[in-house]
Amino acid sequence: MAPYASALPAEQTTTAGARVLRGVEYASPPGFRPLLLDLYRPAHDPQRPVPVVVFLHGGGWRTGRRDQFGPAFAGWPVGPFDRLVRAGFAVASLDYRLSGEAVFPAQLHDGKAALRWLSAHAGALGLDAGRVVLWGESAGGHLAALLALTDGRPEWEGEVGEPGAGVTVAGVVDWYGPADLRTMQRQSRPDAVSAPDAVDSREALLIGAPVPQAPERAAAASPVSHVSAAAPPFLLAHGTADRFVPSGQSEQLAEALRAHGCLVTLHLVEHADHLWAGLPDPEAVFAEAVEFAVQVCGAPGLAAPA
């Protein structure tokens, strides 16, 4: 793994007043596009380094953008990234290679590279690499869980980006993320809009083969396979009417975490579909996640925004 460095872009200011570095290049895998992140920070330098929320977007590992938190939040006058900054966090929202570019574990390697980059540059950017919350939705929730559950395992670090130590993961917010690719098909609702075991499914594109034909690859790409007693606290939130990722996935991951004595909160949101569709107001699920992030970071002065 060769050292990696890239110049920082000019700092901008969001309409809500947060500072943001857009398009920071955190790694450049040979033969692929540069991998970028956006880093949001408080308007004024705090007296002490701030904890970090690392956000991973959804999109079935095929699509998605780092500047989008999800369609349920698109109309908020003050968006989720700015709200998290107001709550006392920095926010790093990541690109990662999509399944049309590379198969698993490339996506996990990219996330690991981003965490190492944040750790290496934490001092210069006023970040506390010892207090990091991973937060993802859908495919991003899957990757957030995998990043946390493979922490400290060098075989999953990959060769992307700069070397060095990663961050300390204080907790994980996993919104409706896949947890076990091998059980998704049988857990799916009768009105499911996709068949995870199909040859052209999102899951097949992720691992490079249909799930039933590649059980070892499917297991390796499943967070439940990596659960151990070392896992950080988890907040799992999932709609009971999810037609893309069955809510049984979060139930299965919660059961595995509890079996290892890990701290986990499972919130099944009645009647909500994927992406919180059908939920009249996502304010409560967002506030719950912010409160969880504040609690696991254990930071005086951090509080959920009013």
Nearest 5°: phi and psi at 86? -65, -25
The domain spans of the chain are 12-297
d(C-alpha 125, C-alpha 45), whole Å: 9
Q: State whether the Cα torsion 192-195-200-206 is positive or negative.
A: positive
Nearest 5°: phi and psi at 36? -120, 155
State mean pLDDT over 89-109.
98
Q: Identify whether the C-beta of residue 113 lies closer than 8 Å to the C-beta of residue 35.
A: yes
Q: Identify whether the C-beta of residue 135 lies closer than 8 Å to the C-beta of residue 83.
A: no
For 196, the token pair is: 């995870």
What one-character-per-residue DSSP string does 221-270 give?
T-GGGG--TTPPPEEEEEETT-SSS-THHHHHHHHHHHHTT--EEEEEET
Among 4-13, 96-105, 140-149, the range scoring the smallest mean pLDDT is 4-13
Q: Is the pLDDT of residue 304 over 50?
A: no
Residue-wise pLDDT tens digits, 59-83 = 999 999 999 999 999 999 999 999 9
Question: By percentage, how much of the chain surpasses pLDDT 90?
Answer: 92
Question: By percentage, how much of the chain surpasses pLDDT 70?
Answer: 95
d(C-alpha 213, C-alpha 164), whole Å: 36
Q: Is the pLDDT of residue 194 over 50?
A: yes
d(C-alpha 220, C-alpha 178), whole Å: 13
Residue-wise pLDDT tens digits, 238-281 = 999 999 999 999 999 999 999 999 999 999 999 999 999 999 99
Average pLDDT over the chain, rounded to whole?
A: 94
d(C-alpha 187, C-alpha 184), whole Å: 5
CB neighbours of 44 closer than 8 A, spacing ≥ 6?
Answer: none
On the question of a cis peptide bond just before residue 154, with omega within 30 degrees of 0, the verdict is no
The reported pLDDT for the residue numbered 44 is: 86
Residue-wise pLDDT tens digits, 19-74 = 999 999 999 999 999 999 999 999 988 889 999 999 999 999 999 999 999 999 99
pLDDT band for 5, please (50, 70, 90 cuts): low
Q: In the chain, helix, strand, coil percent, each to 5?
A: 30, 20, 50
Q: Identify whether the C-beta of residue 136 lies closer than 8 Å to the C-beta of residue 107.
A: no
Cα separations in angstroms, 108 against 100, 103, 150, 221, 282: 15, 10, 9, 9, 28
pLDDT band for 301, please (50, 70, 90 cuts): low
Cα separations in angstroms, 226 against 20, 96, 97, 159, 170: 34, 21, 22, 20, 17
- State the pTM of this model: 0.95
State mean pLDDT over 206-212.
98
The reported pLDDT for the residue numbered 299 is: 62
Orientation of helix 139-149 relative to helix 106-125, angle to 10°: 70
The reported pLDDT for the residue numbered 45 is: 83
For 187, the token pair is: 């857990």
What one-character-per-residue DSSP string does 164-213 give?
S----EEEEEEES----TTTHHHH--TT-S--TTSTTSHHHHHHTS-GGG
Q: How far is CA 71 from the centre of its chain?
A: 16
State mean pLDDT over 193-219.
97
Residue-wise pLDDT tens digits, 133-188 = 999 999 999 999 999 999 999 999 999 999 999 999 999 999 999 999 999 999 99
| Beta bridge partner(s), residue 40 | 20, 91
pLDDT band for 6, please (50, 70, 90 cuts): low
CATH superfamily, region 12-297? Alpha/Beta hydrolase fold, catalytic domain (3.40.50.1820)
